[in-house]
Chain A
Amino acid sequence: MRDHRLTVYTPESPLRQPTKFVRDMIADLLASRELAWRLFLRDLNAQYRTSVLGYFWVFLPPLVASLPFVYLNSTGVVRMGDTPIPYAAYAMVGTIIWQTFVDALNSPLRTVNAARSMLTRINFPREAILLSGLMQVGFTFLVRLVLLIAVFGAFALEPAATAPLFFVGMLSVVGTGFMIGLILTPVGILYSDVSHSLPIASTFLMLLTPVLYPVPASGFGAIVSALNPLTPLIATTRDWLTTGTAAHLDGFILMSAVTVTFLVFGWVAYRLALPHLIARLGN
């Protein structure tokens, strides 16, 4: 097979030819699926081939994040408020949603940084790296789902009737995290400040977001929660799994719409930025 497609490189912004730009975006996205899958399998294999504990590392973060609070709550030192299901299960649901958000947030910068040597040497659909990162996020979430099912089983809990919507919620949670991460990526590739601040920021944000506690009904916490755009995402997704009554649905829909818009923007910026970034990275 021989294609005689003409490739042209000029200094002009590709946005000067919007139709071609969009066509290229879609073509590259489609072309990158197989490569993304390969890269995903490669990373998965490589990751666990040099590890003794293997998939245990997937379970660990939500356990470590939630257990101290379960302990504090049980001793009565810190009261987390009334939860519709036993607190341990509630905290576990929250941390798994949150960890998935954080995974998605870190994913673009992490995968692009890991692929530096490839990016500076080979031309391939750049979307493949992002997609393989998303696949990893999804895979990690699925593994953690096992943990969630085990916790629900241990407390003999029934998921709410709206539980299938939980996955829709997760899609939006992942999308939002990924969107923020993607927009930060061009800056993050050049300046390590971004990758330094992401873990600190996400730990801090977790405490400001109703992850380990229900949405506060009154007081200062209520104002913070109301202003925090992540509140409706996390709360609605959790409610769909646990109670079936989504109290923050409006905010959820608004956030999802914002996410989709900025996701497209982040993607465009990523495509435009890469040639400039690669030129600055050297070999």
Chain B
Amino acid sequence: MVRVEGVSKKFCRDLKRSLWYGLQDTAADLIGGRSSNGLRPHEFWALDGVSLELARGECLGLIGRNGAGKTTLLKMLNGLIKPDKGRIELTGRVGALISLGAGFNPVLTGRENIYVNGSVLGLTKKEIEGKLDEIVEFAEIDDFIDTAVQSYSTGMQVRLGFAVATAMQPDVLLLDEVLAVGDVAFRAKCYERLARIRDRAAFILVSHDTDQIARVCSKVLVLDLGRERHLGDVGEGIRIYHELSRPRQDTSSYEQSAEGTTASIDWCDDTVADGGLFTFSISLELPELVTVADVRVVFWGDDGLPALDAYTRTQGWSLRLQEGTSVVRFAVGPLSLKRGRYAVSIALLNRANNLHLYWGDRIRAVEVDGPMTGAVPYTPPLTCLSITAENSRLEHKHRLDS
């Protein structure tokens, strides 16, 4: 149904030049020639040599970070813009929901807009009339059908757009992140409808919601800065996408100590077995006694969300740290995390003024072994293994209270 061979598209960063290139390209087409295959000044490949093939009944998930070229690819598939290289072949009727409410006139009523949008999508008046009830029913707008679209909520516009686009029974359906706007109930309904027309059509679905992709798609194309990073297996594609989306360790890590304090992570595990302990040690040089100090450890997952959060304060104990130098060793665990790579943040706080004595944000990365699925943020026990300084010691909560 869909065959894309080595398709590339170049864009220009500079607006003035971009407009000028647009005229040049038009002129080149007009005299039947070709503009240069290479990049002109200020140009870059927004999409570079992408190939894919899709048969009826297949659903391709298109994922990638913002600016990866997803919408550009969809626009080329829909024939809105021309490829600069390569070839695209499509069979049958192509339906696209690249953006919602395109062609909706805000002043006209929902009914009038159904007719306009339907004929924009290539339906005849008769076909639209035959499908009107179905569209209205699916979009759940029966009370508003004769109301101007400008008084519709965003969700209602999405529903109407989706209902019209799917009513035309396309052979190829292109969906660009439009479903994200609908509420949960409507989204569920949309997926149900997609599943129903699935064996009749080929879909391409752009979404940042990897759960959606995993549920609906039979294969995945991961784009990164216009290049294909992965094409095929859904699970692997999602893993690569998360890897791409993860903030880069070296750029986002951040370390700081309180004034007069010298602190650093001496040592920490870089791999932990399933159910094992993650141990680390902090060496400190404090200008004065800290009677109540807390330690907090957070593991960040691929998705940028915390996977575990261990905090002495919530676990009912603290440290008493003497002035001068000391080395403190801690252990977090046993760990039961999804297999993967985690960024670790470690903080040492003075409970008296709530200031950080030490704060290392995503300073280390840890490889954790574990099952492939299942990840609920949890709080494993955090324990102090040893303190080297003479007078520093563990303070248990009951002792603090007394």
A interface residues, Cβ below 8 angstroms from B: 2-16, 31, 34-35, 38-39, 42, 45-46, 49-50, 117-124, 186-187, 190-191, 268-269, 272-273, 275-280, 283
Which residues of A are found within 8 Å of B116, using beta-carbon distances?
38-39, 42
Contact A123 B78 (CB under 8 A): yes
B316 at interface by CB-CB < 8 Å = no
- Chain A contacts of B81 at CB under 8 A? 275-276, 278-279
Q: Per a CB cutoff under 8 Å, which of B22, B102, B108, B169 touches A118?
A: B102
Please name the residue on chain B nearest to A190 by beta carbon: B19
A13 touches B23 (CB 8 A): no
CB pair B96 A122 closer than 8 Å = yes
- Asked if residues B79 and A7 are in contact (CB atoms below 8 Å), the reply is yes
Contact A123 B30 (CB under 8 A): no
CB distance from B53 to the nearest CB of A (A): 14
The answer to whether A11 touches B84, judged by C-beta atoms less than 8 angstroms apart, is yes
- Once A38-B115, A268-B30 are accepted as A-B contacts, the answer to whether A9 and B94 lie under 8 Å apart by CB is no
| B96 and A123 form a contact (CB under 8 A) | yes
Say yes or no: is B226 at the interface (Cβ < 8 Å to chain A). no
Among B136-169, those with CB < 8 Å from A are 169
Whether B23 pairs with A190 at a CB distance below 8 angstroms is: yes
Beta-carbon contact of A13 and B34 below 8 Å: yes
Contact assessment for A2 and B125 in the assembled complex, using a CB-CB cutoff below 8 Å: no
What is the interface size of chain B, counting residues whose CB is below 8 A from a CB of the partner? 54
Identify the closest chain B residue to A187 (Cβ).
Answer: B23
Bound Cα distance A272, B34 (Å): 13
Contact between A7 and B89, CB atoms less than 8 A apart: yes
Decide: A186 and B171 in contact? CB cutoff 8 A: no
| Residue in chain A with minimal CB distance to B71 | A283
B89 adjacent to A120 (CB under 8 Å): no
The reply to whether B83 and A123 contact each other, CB–CB distance below 8 Å, is no
The docked-state distance in angstroms from the alpha carbon of A123 to that of B98 is 10
Question: Using Cβ atoms and an 8 Å threshold, which residues of chain A touch B22?
Answer: 190, 276-277, 279-280
**Chain B: which residue is nearest A18 at the CB level?**
B32
Main secondary structure of the interface of A (DSSP, over half): helix
- CB A82 to nearest CB in B, in angstroms, measures 48
Task: List 11 interface pairs A-B (beta carbons < 8 Å), by A numbering.
Answer: A9-B76, A11-B83, A38-B116, A120-B80, A121-B99, A124-B120, A186-B26, A187-B23, A272-B29, A276-B81, A277-B26
Could you say which residues of chain A place their CB within 8 Å of the CB of B88? 8-10
Query: A46-B105, A50-B107, A121-B102 given. 20 additional CB < 8 A pairs?
Result: A4-B91, A8-B87, A9-B76, A10-B88, A11-B84, A13-B31, A31-B122, A38-B116, A38-B119, A46-B107, A118-B120, A120-B75, A121-B99, A122-B121, A272-B30, A273-B26, A276-B26, A276-B29, A276-B82, A280-B22
Report Cα–Cα, A118/B101, bound state, in Å.
9
Measured between alpha carbons, how far is A13 from B29 in the docked complex, in Å? Answer: 5
| Residues of chain B with a CB closer than 8 A to A276's CB | 22, 25-26, 29, 81-82
Chain B, 20-50, contact with A by CB distance < 8 Å: what is the 0/1 string?
Answer: 0111011011111110000000000000000
**Known contacts A34-B119, A38-B115, A268-B30, A122 near B124 by CB under 8 Å:** no
Q: When each residue 115-132 of chain B gets 1 if its CB lies under 8 Å from chain A and 0 otherwise, what string results?
A: 110011110110000000
**Chain B CB within 10 Å — which of A6, A13, A49 has the most?**
A13
Q: How far, in angstroms, from A14 to B34 measured CA to CA in the complex?
A: 11
Q: Given the complex, which residues of B lie within 8 Å of A187, measured CB to CB?
A: 23
In the complex, whether B85 has a CB less than 8 A from a CB of chain A is yes
* B115 close to A279 (CB less than 8 A): no
CA distance A272 to B116 in the complex (A): 25
Q: Cα distance A119–B105 when bound, in Å?
A: 14
Contacts of A272 in B (CB 8 A): 26, 29-30
How far apart sit A268 and B32, CA to CA, in the bound complex (Å)?
12
On chain B, the residues within 8 Å of A122 by CB distance are: 78, 80, 96, 98, 102-103, 120-121
Contact B80 A121, beta carbon cutoff 8 Å: yes
> How far is B75's CA from A7's CA once the two chains are assembled, in angstroms?
14
In the A-B complex, list the 5 residue pairs whose CB atoms are closest, starting with the nearest. A121-B102, A280-B22, A46-B107, A273-B26, A279-B81
A261 to chain B: closest CB distance in Å?
A: 15
